Amino acid sequence: MKTQKNLKGQVAIVTGADSGIGQAVAIAMGQAGAKVLINHIGQHDKADEVVKQITKAGGKAFEFHADVGNEREVQAMFAAVIKKYGRLDILVNNAGLQKDASLIDMTLDDWNTVINTNLTGQFLCSREAAKLFIEQGAEDGVSCAAGKIICMSSVHEVIPWAGHVNYAASKGGIGMFMKSIAQELAPHKIRVVGISPGAIQTPINQDAWETQKALDKLLTLIPYNRIGQPADIGKLAVWLASDDADYITGTSIFIDGGMTLYPGFADNG
Ligand code: NAI
Ligand code: BGC
């Protein structure tokens, strides 16, 4: 099948693009014709592999080390993409992590690290992207919008998660952050959308799928009866960034095999 180059001429930053979902999103955007900045926080070799995979397929990409929770490093990353490609059209706020503990055992450091990366990181990157998009405006022949911001959330934007309160609070926060900036930026022709994945097979949740026993337990929470793959999210991200989704802003797409359908109620509660 011929890949549609529906992001041709566009430039994307994907944060946390050296692993899991970010890697798949970066590769899918590269295949769709976008030039991509592959952000990472230290796994230089893995980021380099992603760059190679995109360039081997005829695309363009480069890697950039930056902690999304660090204002100075984030600003340097946006300066780097402009220096390299001269514009920016798409930001994918993907970087995220878990530091799980019960409430009474959770350290302030566990709390702050997760909020700083998952939520403050999205604020810092979105602010820099919005400044560029407003300055740039919508350009004929590139995209209907002046820019697109995709916020990686989670089903835990709405599903409470005992033992993971820092993570669930960060994702709940992303939901309202995404909607509020969508409202603020729409008059500038900037679209902001969320992606809320269910369980996707990546290193973040390895203990939930690495043994058959763990996987069977996980599948009781997924009516569609399979774990999600990073490529499922890659395809959705490309579509959301494309002009085919031009009238979508301020909402989050749940992509979860039915995890948010209260599967416990399937046989009468
Ligand atoms: P992953 O662990 O494979 O990837 C996370 C990426 O974020 C890594 O590349 C990591 O280096 C990067 N990262 C962490 N802290 C960073 C920082 N301070 N600055 C820059 N990069 C940083 O996990 P996965 O699953 O690919 O996660 C990606 C996003 O998807 C996260 O926001 C996660 O919360 C979200 N998500 C994942 C789901 C899953 O089931 N795998 C489901 C729902 C949401
Ligand atoms: C978490 C994963 C979990 C999934 C479904 C994600 O946000 O990062 O660890 O498997 O939600 O519960």
User: What are the phi and psi torsion angles at 79 (to 5°)?
Assistant: -65, -40
Q: Kindly give the distance from the C-alpha atom of residue 46 to the centroid of ligand 2, in angstroms, as a whole number.
A: 22
The catalytically annotated residue of 85, 167, 224, 262 is 167
Q: Characterise 257 by phi-psi region: left (phi > 0), alpha (psi -120 to 50), beta (else).
A: left
Residues 195-235 have pLDDT tens digits of 999 999 999 999 999 999 999 999 999 999 999 999 999 99
- pLDDT score at 2: 54
Q: What pLDDT is stored for residue 116 in this prediction?
A: 98
Helix axes 121-136, 165-185, angle to 10 degrees: 10
Question: CB under 6 Å to ligand 1: residues?
Answer: 15-16, 18-22, 39-41, 67-69, 94-97, 117, 121, 152, 154, 197, 199-200, 202-205
- The residues of the chain scoring below 50 in pLDDT are none
Structure confidence at residue 140 (pLDDT): 87
Counting from 1 in the atom list of ligand 1, the atom nearest the Cα of 18 is 9
Main-chain dihedrals φ then ψ at residue 120, nearest 5 degrees: -60, -35
The rounded distance, in Å, linking the Cα atoms of 51 and 11 is: 14
Q: Do the beta carbons of residue 116 and residue 69 sit within 8 Å?
A: yes
Burial of 212 (0-12, 13-18, 19+ CB in 10 A): exposed
Enter the pTM of the model: 0.98
Separation of CA 3 and ligand 2 centre (Å): 30
Q: What is the pLDDT of residues 28-56, one digit of tens each?
A: 999 999 999 999 998 899 999 999 999 99
Distance 22 CA to ligand 1 centre (A): 7
Number of H helices, E strands in the chain: 8, 7
User: Do residues 12 and 32 lie in contact, with contact meaning Cβ atoms separated by under 8 Å?
Assistant: no
Q: Clarify whether 247 is annotated catalytic.
A: no
Instruction: Give the pLDDT confidence score for residue 3 in this predicted structure.
Output: 60
Domains and CATH numbers, the chain: 11-257 (3.40.50.720)
Question: According to the model, what pLDDT value does residue 269 have?
Answer: 74
